[in-house]
């Protein structure tokens, strides 16, 4: 959510930003917010004036009573009561206007960073850089579930019977590999100065509305029936929600946190659920990284976060690239974002494995996460997040890039301690 002062003082900037995101249908919201806000401030001033008059008249009643002017005092009492009724009506109108303003402000997109490329959708995202050497293969690489099945590592048929499409059983060394990667990711981030956290896996609705846009919420979140609880789609949600309605001392910053959680997503939308694989599923596990910092530091930490992901995948012998998200592909709360994509030798293309985002003060503004400077002044924090790793999707490039002709899989040196010293799965 943007600062309403931007609309008051520079509505054209907000409109231009909406156009850059190709959301012209939202242009009318800026004018509506401006009109509602002007009315809101006008009646609020009227209410303040009436409260001042009521206070003065209330003091007058006592004075008149002391002077024996009972009838005049009763008349003033009636006037004070009438003013009270008028204030109550205005306060109701204030509340209605505030709701209308907030409803629109929640869907007006955040102001994107000047460095973001302009484009309509993900087809216009821009490659920044490639990392790692692509291995050449002199044999055909099977589909990832075929590799897993050959290693007795997956059972999709049983999962469909118990839970439906988008679920899976991982077994044996593949299940162990899944857990080993998460353990390695945890220690990788701890070694880089991040504090390890296990957060709640369910959060209240006010936290959900604070960390994501309504469209994302509708397409992603599973709600617990009969309760104000949602299953998290990523631990970023509960990690940022941890700071709701708090004031952080400037000297305590930055908070650099890495969290583990299972994640649950509806995956409603154009992509759909894969019946044959584990690229897009309803349930997965993830190691996440979160930063809460001063606004002037957020771009520095943005670069730190995506570089962590690149280094992590390279340590597992998986080539990657970074892809800058264009304006039309940015979620409404983000000011800048890039994807880290892993190389698929089977498909001869890259596929997303991490998403790094700087949300500016959007989440902090919604959740009232403020920083108190040394001078006592308070201002909104900036929040950032990025995936460290999210298996089982990540197992796809792992298996492909470390595959041998006999369909055995090499274990990179960094991961071997987490696999009981194994150097190969076969």
Q: What is the pLDDT of residue 68?
A: 85
Q: What is the pLDDT of residue 67?
A: 83
Q: What is the pLDDT of residue 217?
A: 74
Q: What is the pLDDT of residue 272?
A: 58
Taking residues 78-90, what's their average pLDDT?
A: 90
Taking residues 236-242, what's their average pLDDT?
A: 96
Query: Looking at the predicted structure, is the pLDDT value of residue 294 above 80?
Result: yes
Render pLDDT for 390-403 as a digit per residue (tens, 0 to 9): 999 999 999 999 99
Query: Looking at the predicted structure, is the pLDDT value of residue 417 above 90?
Result: yes
pLDDT-derived band at 271, boundaries 50, 70, 90:
low
Q: What is the pLDDT of residue 269?
A: 57
Query: Looking at the predicted structure, is the pLDDT value of residue 381 above 70?
Result: yes
| CATH node for 4-105 | 1.10.287.40
- CATH class label, 122-425: alpha beta
Q: What is the pLDDT of residue 129?
A: 97
Query: Looking at the predicted structure, is the pLDDT value of residue 278 above 60?
Result: yes
Render pLDDT for 186-219 as a digit per residue (tens, 0 to 9): 999 999 999 999 999 999 999 999 998 767 777 7
Render pLDDT for 133-187 as a digit per residue (tens, 0 to 9): 999 999 999 999 999 999 999 999 999 999 999 999 999 999 999 999 999 999 9
pLDDT-derived band at 262, boundaries 50, 70, 90:
very high
Listed by start position, the domains of the chain span 4-105, 122-425
Q: What is the pLDDT of residue 268?
A: 61
Taking residues 331-357, what's their average pLDDT?
A: 96
Given this chain, do its domains 4-105 and 122-425 carry the same CATH topology? no
Q: What is the pLDDT of residue 62?
A: 80
Integer Cα distance of 147 and 367 in angstroms: 45
Answer yes or no: pTM beyond 0.75: yes
């Amino acid at each position: 959510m943007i600062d309403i002062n931007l609309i008051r003082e520079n509505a054209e900037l907000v409109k231009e930003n909406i156009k850059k995101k190709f959301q012209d249908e939202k242009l009318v919201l800026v004018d509506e917010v401006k009109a509602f806000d002007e009315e809101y401030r006008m009646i609020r001033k009227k209410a303040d004036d009436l409260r001042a008059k009521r206070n003065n008249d209330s003091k007058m009643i006592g004075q008149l009573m002391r002077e024996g002017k009972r009838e005049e005092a009763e008349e003033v009492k009636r006037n004070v009561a009438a003013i009270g009724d008028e204030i109550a009506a205005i306060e109701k109108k204030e509340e209605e206007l505030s709701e209308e303003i907030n409803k629109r402000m929640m869907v007006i997109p955040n102001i994107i960073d000047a460095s973001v490329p302009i484009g309509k959708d993900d087809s216009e995202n821009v490659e920044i850089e490639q990392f790692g050497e692509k291995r050449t293969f002199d044999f055909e690489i099977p589909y990832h579930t075929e590799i897993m099945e050959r290693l007795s590592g997956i059972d999709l048929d049983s999962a469909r019977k118990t839970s439906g499409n988008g679920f899976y059983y991982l077994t044996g060394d593949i299940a162990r590999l899944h857990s080993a990667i998460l353990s390695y990711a945890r220690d990788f981030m701890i070694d880089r100065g991040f504090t390890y956290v296990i957060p709640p896996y369910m959060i209240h609705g006010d936290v959900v509305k604070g960390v994501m846009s309504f469209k994302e919420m509708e397409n992603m979140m599973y709600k617990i029936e009969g309760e104000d609880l949602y299953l998290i789609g990523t631990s970023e949600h509960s990690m940022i929600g941890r700071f709701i309605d708090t004031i952080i001392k400037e000297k305590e910053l930055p908070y650099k946190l890495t969290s583990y959680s299972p994640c649950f997503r509806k995956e409603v939308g154009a992509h759909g659920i894969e019946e044959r694989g584990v690229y897009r599923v309803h349930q997965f596990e993830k190691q996440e990284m979160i930063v809460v910092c001063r606004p002037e530091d957020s771009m520095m930490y943005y670069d730190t976060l995506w570089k962590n992901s690149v280094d992590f995948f390279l340590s597992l012998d998986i080539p990657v690239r970074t892809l800058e998200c264009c304006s039309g592909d940015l979620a409404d709360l983000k000011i800048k974002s890039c994807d880290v994509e892993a190389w698929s030798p089977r498909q001869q293309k890259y596929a997303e494995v991490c998403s790094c985002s700087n949300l500016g003060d959007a989440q902090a503004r919604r959740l009232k996460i403020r920083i108190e400077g040394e001078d006592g002044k308070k201002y909104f924090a900036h929040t950032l997040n990025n995936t460290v790793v999210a298996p089982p999707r990540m197992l796809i490039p792992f298996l492909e890039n470390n595959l041998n002709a006999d369909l055995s899989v090499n274990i990179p040196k960094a991961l071997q301690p987490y696999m009981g010293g194994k150097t190969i799965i076969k």
